[in-house]
Structure 1
Amino acid sequence: MTPQRPHLPPVWFLCVALVAVSANLRTAMASVPPLTQTIAADLGLSNTALGALTTLPVLCMGLFAPGAQRVAARLGAAASVEVAIGCVVVGLGLRFLGGEVWPLYAGTFVAGVGIALGGTLLPGLVKELFPPERSGLVTGLYMLAMMSGAGASSALSVPLQGWLGSWQASLGSWAVLALVGAVAWLPVVSGHRRHRAANPTVVAPTRLPWRHLTAWLVAAYLAVQSVEFYSSLAWLAPSYTARGWDPTHAGYLLSAFTAAQLVSGLLGPALTDRISDHRLLLLGASVLGLAGQVGLWLAPTSAPWGWVVVLGLGQGASFALGLVLMVDYARTPSASARLAGMAFFVSYTLASFGPATLGAVRDATGGFTTVWMTLSLLMVVQLGLCALMRPGLPKID
């Protein structure tokens, strides 16, 4: 029997609050790359130390994801998301003090912990708070918000530095957006608490589904997809500056990559509400990603903008559909959160090493051809995993 919803805010408000929170789940990472040269010159950081600035949040997203369900068991899932967005506010705020090295890295770490908690718990809340026939569309909306936040923070970092007078103020200013998300989420916390009191459920286990084959399949899919995404994000622009492109124009390639993800990240999950066998969408997204990567490997100068857009369409849909899998293969919101905790732990921990590993490949081979060849071969693995995602797989309890 479907529980009543009189204590929850209207669905439209839940969507607005979800979007306000989700917009902050990538700004801590995406706002840094455009300012790396300025930060390095000001603080005397090496390339390795700069790489850690973007790797640290991804590593946090993996290492702290398993603890999200335990926090939710104590505080409630909605309240835990409020704590998560509060961590993002504090972490980004610390960057205002970035005249020294430690506030920059401490703030990045705190924000990364918040991103890990929020990103892990949101799929379960989508399953609990929204009608089942709208879960795909809602997932697409928060994917759209997340990538929009990433795109905006990347595009505006340098202009904000000029307007506000320093790179510290530019990075720290994104705490304002996080504060908006925290305020917007407060009514959801209150409504969710009353909703759970009126619809008590059996206390759910907090252990992650390590022995469940479906959980491992989802984790493997997200691990491959995450390695591909963060490696592409790290090496797309450098692979063209190495071919003589102006850094500004190479950066525009990243904007095209992100813009394409916005489109497919919304459309892919929305189609899951109409297509019952999600393998069709998963395979289609992976084929697009493979086409983009093969183009960057074998014909990088023939149609770079086209390859980047195709790759972005595939990557955006692949990640968003991975979020839908956490709803599809879980019987309860709690099970969805536990599946997300395990899948994010595996995928983001591995993904945090992807850019550096492929950077070593680039150093060993002297160019980026082998990097894109490796990612193309990895996409073939993703295609094989997609073929296994049949609708009748056992669900996590």
Structure 2
Amino acid sequence: MVKKHWTLSLTFVVISIFFVALNMRPAVTGIGPLFNVLMTSLQVSNTSMSFLTAIPVFCMGLFAPLAVPLQRKMGTKSAITLLVAILVIANGLRFFQASYLLLIVTSFAAGLAIAMIGPILNAYIKKKFPERFTTVVGIYSFGIGVGATLSAALTVTFYQSFSNSWTIALGMWSILAIIALVIWLAAIPSKHNEQLQQVTTSEEVRNPWTSRRAWVILLYFGLQTSLFFSIMSWLTPLLQDKGLSLEASSAMLTIMSIVQMIGNMAVPILMEKWPSRMAWLLVFSFVGMIGFMLLWLTAGIYLWLAVLLIGIVLSGLFPIGLLLPLDEAKNDQEATSWSSMVLAGGFMVSAIIPTLIGICYDLTGNHTWTYLIFVLLMLGILVTTGLLRKK
């Protein structure tokens, strides 16, 4: 009977992790489906719109190192509670005013919260589920994918359902954060705060900042995250530039997100049977090259194929990025510090690319450089895969 109760408790913990993960993208990816709508309404440039993605992503990197001291000071339960509450406020403020400055401020706050949620949950999963952390990380990344899918699918729906009000469309995501907050508080025992503050280890804790391998993992994570945030921000305007309507472009973004969401769950499970990270990365790199070339050079039905392939690639690259630092970690303290470093540097790198795309488009008036940047990112991932093979 005790064993059954323990199993149910762990299941509830996994559910709470999933709901927290749902909230780690909509504050950022909800901008993309309404990119042109916001740009027209706020009367700003493509570059200025890019900042709405770049700022939170940069914050995800800048504040990730604070995850370790916050976790030590508050414990996992209280720390995640505070950070999800910040997401509730950041999304909720968007209800009240159609302001570019408000979007910048709330994007900054969301990025700060997401930055620290990632490393804290990674370490918590490593500690709580040592035998099945690949599967639980898969559920966590699946939750992130579901959140991105929901933002792609429903933001335009909210916009159209509430008299073309983009403030309501963006503010609605505060409700999802409130649900996650309630479930997290109910699922996680308060004693976890005390346990994590008291745990020490006699094992040597390696500094990731002095490890060449950690830097290569950081570069990989930065490239794949650049790819994700850039395509989530720019796919809708790219497709509209090819002559598709807002509804059709949004539908294709939703399809890509659904494929990615399914893959976020399926790929880690498949990796338990075929665990070679490098083999998976090689396959995804070549499939990604095909997908982005189709997106660049084709039209019509081939665009659907391109979006399908890109969704498959994105679905695998992200969970592998989460797993690589955990694979290297020898204990839960290393899991936190390595994940913190990789997420910090990786997100700061990835903040550059969406803004660079906006600048290139404002200067040239076309998306040639956008497609070229996507292809170069895939080449970069292929190069880092080669470097990671040399352990």
The offset of 1:222, in angstroms, is 0.7
In the TM superposition, residue 304 of structure 1 has moved relative to its aligned partner by 0.9
For 2:157, the equivalent position in structure 1 comes to: 159
Task: Tell me, yes or no, if structure 1 residue 345 matches structure 2 residue 344.
Answer: yes
Q: Give the 3 Å change call, closer, same or farther, for CA 373–189 of structure 1 in structure 2.
A: same
Superposition pairs for residues 327-346 of structure 1, below 5 Å?
327-346=326-345
Counterpart of 2:308 in structure 1 is 309
Q: Any conservation in 2 of the 1:204–1:334 contact (CA below 8 Å)?
A: no
Cα distance, 1:278 vs. partner?
1.9
Residues 352, 208 of structure 1: CA spacing in aligned structure 2 closer, same or farther, 3 A cutoff? Answer: farther
Cα separation, partners in 2 of 1:387 and 1:240, compared to 1, 3 Å: same
| C-alpha distance 330-155 of structure 1, shift in aligned 2 (>3 A) | same
Q: 1:380, 1:42 → 2: CA distance?
A: 37
Coordinate RMSD, CA, aligned: 2.9
State the distance in 1 between where 2:307 and 2:259 align.
8
Paired residues of 2:242 and 2:299 also in contact (CA < 8 A): no
Return the TM-score normalized by structure 2: 0.88
1:193 matched residue in structure 2: 193
Structure 2 residue aligned with 1:226: 225
Segment of structure 1 superposing worse, 174-183 or 360-369: 360-369
1:192 maps to a residue whose letter is: H
1:291 aligns with 2:290: yes
Which amino acid in the other structure matches residue 351 of structure 2? S
Unpaired runs of 5+ residues, structure 2, are none
**Contact 1:208–1:341 (8 Å) recurs in 2:** no
Alpha-carbon offset, residue 255 of structure 1:
1.4
The AA in structure 2 aligned to 1:345 is: A
Is 275-284 or 174-183 further displaced after alignment? 275-284
The letter for the 1-side match of 2:217 is V
Counterpart position of 1:259: 258
Q: Which residue of 2 aligns with 1:241?
A: 240
**1:219-267 per-position Cα deviation (integer Å, ceiling 9, x unaligned):** 0111111222222223323233222222321222211221121122111
Q: CA deviation at 1:352?
A: 1.2
Aligned length: 387
Partner SS for 1:97: coil
Find the counterpart in structure 2 of residue 143 from structure 1: 141
Deviations for 1:78-116, whole angstroms, at most 9, x for unmatched residues? 432222111111111221222444443322221221111
Residues 166-205 of structure 1: pairs in structure 2 closer than 5 A: 166-186=165-185, 187-193=187-193, 195-196=195-196, 200-202=199-201
Equivalent residue, structure 2, for 1:108: 107
Q: CA separation in 2, counterparts of 1:371 and 1:206?
A: 41
Shift in CA distance, 244/105, structure 1 to aligned 2, threshold 3 Å: same
Q: Is the 8 A contact 1:219 1:342 kept in 2?
A: yes
Give the percent of matched residue pairs that are identical in Structure 1 and Structure 2: 28
Could you tell me whether the CA contact under 8 Å between 2:46 and 2:362 is conserved in 1?
Answer: no
Structure 2 CA distance for aligned equivalents of residues 162 and 61 of structure 1: 30
In the TM superposition, what is the alpha-carbon distance from 1:169 to its structure 2 partner? 2.7
Tell me by how many angstroms 1:365 deviates: 5.3
Counterpart CA distance in 2 for 1:244 and 1:299 is 12
Cα drift, residue 22 of structure 1: 0.3
Code of the aligned partner of 1:283: L
Moved more, 299-308 or 111-120: 299-308
Specify the alignment match of 2:117 in structure 1: 118
Q: Deviations over 1:276-318 (max 9, x none)?
A: 3321222222222122112223445561100111111011101
Contact 1:79–1:189 under 8 Å retained in 2:
no
User: How far apart in 2 are the matches of 1:39 and 1:299?
Assistant: 28
Between the aligned partners of 1:307 and 1:162, the Cα distance in structure 2 is 27
Structure with the bigger RCO (C-alpha within 8 Å, sep 6+) is 2
Secondary structure at the aligned position of 1:202 is classed as: coil
Letter in 1 for 2:380: V
CA distance in 2, matches of 1:340, 1:29: 21
- Contact map agreement 1:217 1:385 (CA 8 A) in 2: yes
Q: In structure 2, give the amino acid aligned to 1:248.
A: E
How many Å apart are 1:44 and its aligned residue? 4.4
The AA in structure 2 aligned to 1:288 is V
- More divergent stretch after superposition (376-385 vs 355-364): 355-364
Distance 1:81 1:222, change over 3 A: same
Q: Take 2:280 and 2:36, find their aligned partners in 1: how far apart are those partners? A: 40
Per residue, is there more helix in 1 or in 2?
A: 2
Question: 1:7/1:333 Cα in 2 relative to 1: closer, same or farther (>3 Å)?
Answer: farther
Distance 1:182 1:318, change over 3 A: same
Deviates more, 1:37-46 or 1:352-361: 37-46
Task: From the superposition, tell whether residues 319 and 295 of structure 1 become closer, same or farther in structure 2 (CA, over 3 Å).
Answer: same
Contact 1:8 1:192 in 2 (8 A): no
Worse-superposed segment, 254-263 or 276-285:
276-285
Contact 1:208 1:342 in 2 (8 A): no
Tell me, yes or no, if the aligned pair for 1:237 and 1:254 is still in contact at 8 Å.
yes
Task: Output aligned runs, 1:61-80, within 5 Å.
Answer: 61-80=60-79
Cα deviation code 1:191-225 (max 9, x no counterpart): 5236548x843399999621111211110111111
The match for 2:279 is: 280
Q: TM-score, normalised by structure 1?
A: 0.87
Distance of 1:50 and 1:365 partners within structure 2: 16
Q: Is the 8 A contact 1:30 1:151 kept in 2?
A: no
